[in-house]
Amino acid sequence: MECLKIDNITKVYKGNKKEPDKIVLKDISFSINEGEFVCLLGPSGCGKTTLLTMMGGFLEPTSGKILLDGNEIKGPGSERGYVFQNYALFPWMTVKENIAYGLKFSTKTKEEKEERVKYLINMARLNGNEKKFPIQLSGGMQQRVAVARALAGFPRVLLLDEPLGAIDFQMRELLQNELDQMVQEAHITAVMVTHDVSESVFMSDRVIVLGNNHGHIVSDYKIDLPRRRDRESEEFKKCVTELTSLVRIAFNENITAGEACIMKRRK
């Protein structure tokens, strides 16, 4: 069943006298099915984060629509859980208060909320850390709090903006395992932005490769490997190799566009 539909999205950042308008995304369309984990992969500057920000409702598309269960997305809402690149945990709230904040504005009773927070703390393996403040947590724990908070209000989709962007390599694989586990347990549709090929192969059912040419979709790549993927397996490595070359194509699209631009000027 179709869950999230990206319908002909164009995003233009208005320029000023010095800079011309910048077309970030042009006529992008794809849809995401219920329960799928989709990665948006591409070189930096290809517009993948812009696209996710629009799914979150923090930014409006210049034209086109994003539909969630057939309803157009207008502004942020609790049916979409968002995990920010820097986690955006509230520094003055404890772990428990941070997670509970995700439920604060829901219509559930106090007992139900209490129950839900308890469940999430358990699921994110944060027992014993409820009263700590974000600054006192390790990067991995911060990530789990952020995911738990985003899942708190039973969102329809989870949107993840490079949640492991700033983490070193060894730690990254560990956190990928944790994130994978949490998302699998929550049985939720998810969209994640990343520029790490191996991460996208490890996490997702489908990888959409966006090119530098206004986010043109270079490839819609399905990954059909059993879960808790083995990073050392031949199939995994094959997917990584194939996707890496696709990302290279995606990156080179920019160069060709850039070269075309220079050529035009020369003429």
Q: Residue 75 interacts with other proteins (CB under 8 A)?
A: yes
Distance CA 242, CA 197 (A): 10
Tokens standing for 4? Answer: 């999230």
Per-residue x/- mask for other proteins, residues 156 to 185, rule CB under 8 A?
A: ------------------------------
Beta carbon of residue 153, minimum distance to other proteins (angstroms, whole number):
6
Residue 80's CB: how many other CB atoms inside 10 A? Answer: 20
Residue 145 CA, distance from chain mean position: 16
Interface with other proteins includes 76 (CB under 8 A)? yes
DSSP 255: H
- Identified binder of other proteins from the candidate list 21, 31, 63, 104, rule CB under 8 A: 104
Contact present, 61 and 47 (Cβ < 8 Å): no
How far is residue 73's CA from residue 67's CA, in Å, rounded to a whole number? 6
CB under 8 Å to 72, separation ≥6 — which residues?
Answer: 65, 66
**Identified binder of other proteins from the candidate list 30, 101, 154, 236, rule CB under 8 A:** 101
**Binding residue for other proteins (CB under 8 A) from 7, 30, 77, 118?**
77
Nearer to other proteins, 104 or 248 (CB): 104
Helices (H) and strands (E) in the chain, counts: 7, 10
**101 or 251, CB closer to other proteins?**
101
What mask, x for binding other proteins by CB under 8 A, covers residues 107 to 146?
--------------------------x-xx----------
Work out how close the CB of 201 gets to other proteins at its nearest, in angstroms, rounded to a whole number.
27
Tell me if 13 contacts other proteins by CB under 8 A: no
Which range binds other proteins by CB under 8 A, 88-96, 113-121, 184-192, 209-217? 88-96
Residue from 15, 29, 90, 260 that binds other proteins (CB under 8 A)?
Answer: 90
Reading phi first (left if > 0) and then psi (alpha if -120 to 50, else beta), residue 70 is in left
Torsion of CA 240, 167, 133, 141, to 10 degrees: 40
85 or 252: whose CB is closer to other proteins?
Answer: 85
Going from the C-alpha of 173 to that of each of 156, 170, 188, 201, 230, the distances in angstroms are 26, 6, 21, 12, 11
Tell me which stretch binds other proteins (CB under 8 A): 12-20, 50-58, 215-223, 235-243.
50-58
Interface with other proteins (CB under 8 A): 56-58, 75-78, 80-82, 84-86, 88, 90-92, 101-106, 133, 135-136, 149-150, 152-153
